[in-house]
Copies of this chain bind each other. A is one copy, B any other.
Amino acid sequence: MVLQNTQVCLASSPRGAATSDNFFLRQSPVPEIDDGEVLVRNIYLSCDPYMRGRMAAGTGYAAGFPLGGPIPARVVGQIMQSRHRNFSEGDFVWDFLRWENFTRVTDVRALRRIDPSLGPISHAISVLGMPGRTAEVGMIDIAGVKAGETVFVSAASGAVGSVAGQLAKAAGARVIGSAGTDEKVRHCLENLQYDAVFNYRKEPPGEALDRLCPEGVDIYFDNVGGETLDAVLARIQPFARIPVCGMISQYDGGDYSLRNAGNVVGKRAMIRGFIIYDHMQDFDLYPPRMVARMRRGEVRYFDDIVDGIENTPAAFIGMLRGDNIGKRLVRISDDPGSPTNHPENQRR
């Protein structure tokens, strides 16, 4: 059997909402490796909101993705061939690789080994990886959540928000969430320990907050920006903290002007944008810390898995639209890595 390397490439920068025309699939040979390198068979490809920003030139915080090539993304895979003494065939690893089946890793310094005894290997790029750590940095390091506070999380069932909400709950806060479908609302209430959740497509955020937390908001974990952020700014308590790790409502061509920013003075509020890459210096301590929380039942996590590399563009576009419940991943080859299928952690 001759293996093919399917690559999902960027055809053009999206204008407005991303569409399938912005992507194309390409077949190329499986790469060969030299001494000191490894070949990874990719298993899970990550679909993250920030990638939308990097598909448009000049809009984002990092270099834009080049047109015509496979799209850079976090990937979980297995070492298929190793010519580096630190890695052996069969090791599970994750790294920033590409949306493709096989990646030749010429510089292994950033390649991290995954311990499959900790849970599903996909978790290395979801709850035990950047999305989970993003929630922790925002809710604990930046916002410093305390017992008794009122916390609001938008995109409450998402890859990051679902962890942020549960971390706040574990700290003793009262936690309100918003999500875009009734199914997500139910999921937040039944599986993610939220105290109250509303469907922002059915009820304006301001009205919902007045109903669910008339006393106002101490912490808003902002994943969306726009109208929701504005509604919160009108309802913040003194010394409110608003860690902002994304404004998904504005990535996909959205546009919104904040009317209530003046309230940050009177309420002595802090709005702080952050990017997880600035908080990587002690990243290795994070996965065991989160595993301990999960074993104590403080955090449950749900990957939202789509199968087939050819479905990656649609999986990504759907994630931007909010189709996913939990962390959106594409499984592109067999996952032998997880000791069990952890059915309670994989809804689909």
Contact = CB atoms under 8 A, between A and B. Distances in A.
A269 interface: yes
A229 interface: yes
A17 interface: no
Pick the 6 closest A-B CB pairs, nearest first.
A257-B257, A61-B266, A264-B273, A265-B273, A258-B258, A270-B272
A272 B273 contact: no
B269 A264 contact: no
B247 A265 contact: yes
B60 A266 contact: yes
Nearest to A238: B61
A293 to B, nearest CB: 26
Contact of A245 (B225, B238, B261, B265): B265
A244 B257 contact: no
A265 B261 contact: no
B269 A273 contact: yes
Contact of A266 (B53, B257, B258, B267): B53
Given A225-B262, A229-B261, A258-B261, A272 B269 contact: yes
A250 to B, nearest CB: 5
Contact of A270 (B53, B270, B278): B270
B262 A268 contact: no
Interface string A234-245: 000010000011
Nearest to A274: B268
23 contacts: A61-B265, A61-B268, A225-B261, A225-B262, A229-B261, A244-B264, A244-B265, A246-B265, A250-B262, A257-B258, A258-B261, A261-B261, A261-B271, A264-B271, A264-B272, A265-B274, A265-B275, A266-B275, A268-B272, A268-B275, A269-B272, A270-B272, A271-B272
Number of copies: 2
A84 interface: no
Question: How big is the A interface, by class?
Answer: 20 to 34
Contacts of A268: 61, 272-275, 278
A259 interface: yes
A250 B245 CA distance: 28
A246 B261 CA distance: 11
Contacts of A273: 263-270
A160 B272 CA distance: 24
A275 B246 CA distance: 28
Contacts of A262: 225, 247, 250
Contacts of A267: 61, 273
Nearest to A254: B262
A133 to B, nearest CB: 15
A58 B136 CA distance: 36
Interface in A208-264: 225, 229, 238, 244-247, 250, 255, 257-259, 261-264
Contacts of A244: 264-265
Nearest to A259: B257
A71 to B, nearest CB: 19
Which residue, A61, A250, A255, A278, has most C-beta atoms of chain B within 10 A?
A61
Contacts of A59: 266
A235 to B, nearest CB: 14
A274 B273 CA distance: 18
Nearest to A62: B266
